């Protein structure tokens, strides 16, 4: 799978391949500089590659070459990790770093947009889950419908911002990888930073309250609307986890949804 691109771009293998459901990634060297070769296997990854090209290295890893399903981009060589920082109690700093990065990603570009999906399309999985599961899912769906019916500040979104998709590129700073292909209200992109299921503390009520405040201030977001986006997104994320048979992760997301519900009711 890699051989075609290794020859096309005259690359040298520099590590073991990384295999995910949507792509195969290989550390390589380009003219002795570290890089990553990514081969997209599904449509989401293919469209994500095109979005990486569109960002042109502003807020995202720089793309060196792009052809077919293959993407050659700069490799993150820094040792810092936002996940490790968050686990060490540095949530405030992590949130401010990501907010600054998203401000760069959300800025308008002069170049034509790549193919994108609307948030309405992105939220399709929530509706059947709400009909089937009821309960908190219905509240998540109602909130999502309210937000989607009153869109604000439409931007090109990353679509999957979490602690392991913003990496340390040393002198180039913190940059994103692995975007989706979504356009919609910018507040959506901050929700997963609060409810990331890979971060065990995301269901901690004190952390939830604190990070809503930090992110709202750093990103210039209305607190109520940010809480609503968290509620909508946790329902969608839980629906996706149920589709994959991952019940513990779905239950974790619903715990965060409950935090958002209580926060919205307390602020009413």
Catalytic residue numbers, as ranges: 160
Instruction: Locate all alpha helices (DSSP H) within 88-133, ordered by sequence.
Output: 91-106, 119-122, 126-133
DSSP letter, residue 200: G
DSSP letter, residue 69: T
Q: How many helices (H) and strands (E) does the chain have?
A: 11, 11
Quick one: which of 45, 28, 48 has its CA closest to 36?
28
Residues 6+ apart with CB under 8 A from 138: 130
Residues 6+ apart with CB under 8 A from 16: 27
For residue 153, how many other CB atoms are within 10 A of its CB?
Answer: 11
Quick one: which of 180, 182, 181, 177 has its CA closest to 72?
177
For residue 12, how many other CB atoms are within 10 A of its CB?
Answer: 12
Q: At 31, list the tokens.
A: 């003219």
Q: Rounded distance, CA 262 to CA 161, Å?
A: 24
């Amino acid at each position: 799978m890699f051989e075609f691109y290794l020859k096309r771009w005259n690359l040298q293998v520099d590590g073991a391949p990384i295999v995910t459901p949507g792509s195969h990634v290989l550390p390589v060297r380009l003219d002795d500089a570290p890089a990553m070769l990514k081969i997209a296997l599904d449509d989401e990854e293919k469209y994500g590659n095109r979005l990486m090209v569109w960002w042109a290295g502003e807020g995202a890893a720089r793309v060196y070459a792009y052809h077919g399903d293959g993407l050659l981009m700069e490799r993150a060589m820094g040792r810092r990790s936002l996940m490790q920082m968050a686990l060490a109690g540095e949530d405030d700093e992590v949130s401010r770093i990501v907010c600054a990065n998203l401000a760069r990603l959300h800025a308008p570009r002069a170049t034509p947009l790549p193919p994108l999906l609307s948030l309405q399309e992105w939220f399709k999985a929530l509706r059947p889950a709400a009909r089937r599961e009821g309960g908190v899912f219905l509240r998540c769906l109602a909130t999502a419908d309210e937000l989607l019916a009153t869109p604000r500040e439409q931007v090109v979104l990353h679509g999957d911002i979490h602690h392991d998709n913003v990496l340390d590129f040393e002198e180039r700073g913190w940059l994103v990888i692995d975007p989706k292909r979504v356009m919609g209200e910018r507040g959506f992109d901050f929700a997963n930073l609060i409810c990331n299921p890979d971060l065990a503390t995301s269901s901690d009520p004190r952390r939830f309250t604190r990070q809503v405040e930090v992110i709202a201030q750093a990103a210039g977001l209305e607190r109520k609307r940010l809480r609503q986006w968290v509620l909508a997104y946790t329902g969608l994320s839980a629906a996706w986890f149920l589709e994959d048979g991952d019940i513990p992760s779905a239950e974790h997301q619903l715990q965060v949804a409950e935090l958002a519900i209580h926060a919205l009711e307390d602020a009413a």
